[in-house]
Amino acid sequence: MSEFRPTLRPALGSKQPVASATFGLSTLPEGTIIHVLARPGEQDVAHLLASLNGSDPHALRPVSPDQWFIVRDAAMPNQEMKGLFAALEPRASGVDQSHGRVRIRIEGKMAQRALSKGTALDLDSSAFPVGQSAVTLIGHIAAHITRVSSDAFEIIVLRGFAESLWDDLTRMGLEFS
């Protein structure tokens, strides 16, 4: 048997958060991310998900037509997740992405300006209000962006791209920090 033992460590564990008056960059806990995919033709799955999710704001994030992310800061126990997946069937299916995707928070008065350097998405609050989500490119990396308050965004990115995206975001915010 191999001597090699993989250790689970945070994808962005070695990164220093950026905090200045107008620009902040921080990692979020690697809690729970569940990708939910509705069966073709199913209506109103969003309502089902909202009822399962309680009142936590921004816990349910649209990804694309008939797809959502369920996001929590805390890790979800295995039994609870099994229960959730069972409750979704047969109208939708859940896939645990907690270790596959990483969340990054970008905030501050200049966060929108900094983020706009990397994406063609219109981030103005009239076009992209609080609670809105979108999948887009940041540089060459596909990412899921959600506006969580007027000057804070959460980015969900594939784990393997997280470090690279973090470095890009740091560079985009250099002039503000």
Residue 135 in the binding site for other proteins (CB under 8 A): yes
Omega cis (within 30) before 40? no
The number of CA neighbours under 13 Å toward the Cβ of 159 is 13
Nearest approach, Cβ of residue 137 and other proteins (Å): 5
For the window 31-70, what string marks contact with other proteins as x by the rule CB under 8 A? Answer: ---------x----------------------xxx-----
Residue 29: both structure tokens together: 């806990």
Q: Does 6 bind other proteins (CB under 8 A)?
A: no
Q: Which of 137, 150, 160, 174 binds other proteins (CB under 8 A)?
A: 137
Q: Which is nearer to other proteins, 63 or 87 (CB)?
A: 63
Distance from CA of residue 124 to its chain's centroid? Answer: 19
Which residues on adjacent β-strands are paired with residue 26?
A: 105
Q: Is 26 in the site for other proteins (CB under 8 A)?
A: no
Residue 146: count of CB within 10 angstroms of its CB: 21
Strands 67-72 and 92-96: unpaired
Q: Residue 84 or residue 145: which is nearer to other proteins going by CB? A: 145
Binding site for other proteins (CB under 8 A): 40, 63-65, 120-122, 127, 134-137, 142
